[in-house]
Chain A
Amino acid sequence: QSALTQAPSASGSPGQSVTLSCTGTSSDVGDYNFVSWYQQHPGKAPKLMIYEVNKRPSGVPNRFSGSKSGNTASLTVSGLQAEDEADYYCSSYAGSNNWVFGGGTKLTVL
């Protein structure tokens, strides 16, 4: 299984919206609606932000939303805030109790 593909970096100004993409294959992202997104601040553990493509855990602001089309999943952060600056990783279930992660996108709030 290969890592999911994410752009290394993205940026946006406060208040703007930014969309991060995550491309997999027909064996992972394209085959399962079990894409999740994680936010990681420097020196901290990842935090689950989105699961099952578009569901938010309790406590995650509704500024974060997810979607999927074919083999590509997306995370949209609306109304960007300074605290949203972090690394974001996507992950997909790949069947047979296997998971695959993306390489991560560093989001900068300008």
Chain B
Amino acid sequence: QVQLRESGPGLVKPSETLSLTCTVSGGSIISSSYYWGWIRQPPGKGLEWIGSIFYSGSTYYNPSLKSRVTISVDTSKNQFSLKLSSVTAADTAVYYCARPKVTEWSFDLWGRGTLVTVSS
């Protein structure tokens, strides 16, 4: 049973860089069937797709966040990571890692999510 688990600081200062890692367990991140992605949800609000990565390193970003986002993959650790630079209070959210399935283009597996608060 594949599982995803987010990890990283729960508090980030304004203007700094938010960094999160998603660890994939129970299966390999090297798969031609899946991408690996990040989605966030501000408190009390809806979901926003941040970006996705293929195990080969190909990346795809939400145009509204593209200038601040970097997603990378470490196949040796079975992990992928998110970096969001120049954060503000508007970036406060629960961040989920999720697995979009190639050809079905839906997120069939989600991590539990981790709350990141941007505050000084």
Contacts and interface: CB of A to CB of B under 8 A. Distances in A.
A89 interface: yes
A36 B107 contact: yes
Contacts of A34: 104-106
Given A89-B47, A97-B52, A32 B107 contact: no
B49 A99 contact: yes
Contacts, number: 69
Interface residues of B, number: 25
B34 interface: no
A51 B46 contact: no
B47 A104 contact: yes
A103 B112 CA distance: 20
A96 B110 CA distance: 22
Given A96-B60, A98-B49, A98-B62, A91 B106 contact: yes
Interface of A: 1, 3, 32, 34, 36, 38, 45-48, 51-52, 55, 57, 89, 91, 93, 96-104
16 contacts: A1-B64, A36-B107, A45-B112, A51-B101, A51-B106, A55-B104, A89-B47, A91-B49, A91-B106, A97-B52, A98-B60, A98-B62, A98-B63, A101-B39, A101-B49, A103-B45
